[in-house]
Structure 1
Amino acid sequence: MLKLTYTEAGLYLERLDISLEEFVINRMLLSLRSGLSIHIESSRAAFLLTADVVDLLLLKSVMSDRLSNKLSVDRVDDRYVEVCFSGTWISSDLCAEEGTLVTALGDRVEFYLHKLWKISESTLTFAN
């Protein structure tokens, strides 16, 4: 499962060894037990990768046809590639800009996307 967390400071992508359903249930239970509100809905998320770290042919080869309606990868310009996917958005309320989007895309795709994101982030950090 991939977990994309949006915060005021930016975003962070994690790969977790837990099912999507188990993660959502755990978040709901945490919310109930702590008395905090929770909002859960189907949604889409996107993040950018630096184009120089992405082998689009390899990435598209690990994506199966069954993911075509759930995941897209498109070149934005010479420098960036956008990864967009659907999943479950979890936040404190309906209008929150901070929250978490979780999705299950399969181990191989998740591993490769997470690896590319880490490389891309280190490239961006090093460049700044």
Structure 2
Amino acid sequence: MLKLTYTENSFYLELLTESVEEWIQARVILTLRIGQSLCVEPSTATFLLPVNLPGLAQLHTQVEQLDNREVIELYACDTEFLEVSLRGYWLSANGQSMSGGFVTTMSQNTEFFLHNLWLEARKSASFAIE
């Protein structure tokens, strides 16, 4: 399972071993116990990866071969970035919140590979900023 955590000015992508159903169930139980509300709804999340990132061709191949297109789609954004679009579930305190978490699942190989690409992109971006 992939989990994207969105904050006001950033996001973080995690690779988790739980199933989407187990993770959502645990969050529902937690919010009930602490007396808070939780909105869970089907949604789409997107993020960008640099087009010069090694391995993007392999990601394209995995998406096409493993028929992950129901969950993940790749779009050429511009000459510098590729947009990764994921379908899954958005969890937040209310339906209007811009902060929250997004979870999705696809083949384990694709999840692992996508997570590694995202880590590599972050590493490259941090070198560019310094």
Q: Does 1:20 align with 2:20?
A: yes
The Cα RMSD (Å) is 1.2
Distance (whole Å) between structure 2 residues aligned to residue 69 and residue 15 of structure 1:
19
Q: Which amino acid aligns with 1:36?
A: Q
SS of corresponding position for 1:68 = helix
Query: Which residue is 1:76 aligned to?
Result: 77
Cα gap change, 1:31 to 1:69, in 2 (>3 Å): same
Query: Which residue is 2:60 aligned to?
Result: 60
How far apart are 1:125 and its partner, in Å? Answer: 1.2
Distance (whole Å) between structure 2 residues aligned to residue 6 and residue 54 of structure 1:
25
Q: Does 1:8 align with 2:8?
A: yes
Q: Which amino acid aligns with 1:79?
A: E
Q: Which amino acid aligns with 1:116?
A: L
Structure 2 unaligned blocks of 5 or more: none
SS of corresponding position for 1:53 = coil
Structure 1 unaligned blocks of 5 or more: none
Q: Which amino acid aligns with 1:13?
A: L
CA contact (8 A) 2:71 2:105 kept: no
Q: Tell me the percent identity.
A: 36
Q: Which amino acid aligns with 2:83?
A: E
Q: Does 1:94 align with 2:101?
A: no
TM-score by length of 2: 0.93
Q: Which amino acid aligns with 1:113?
A: L
SS of corresponding position for 1:3 = strand
TM-score by length of 1: 0.94
Report runs of 4+ in structure 1 exceeding 3 Å deviation. Answer: none
Query: Which residue is 2:118 aligned to?
Result: 117
Q: Which amino acid aligns with 2:127?
A: F
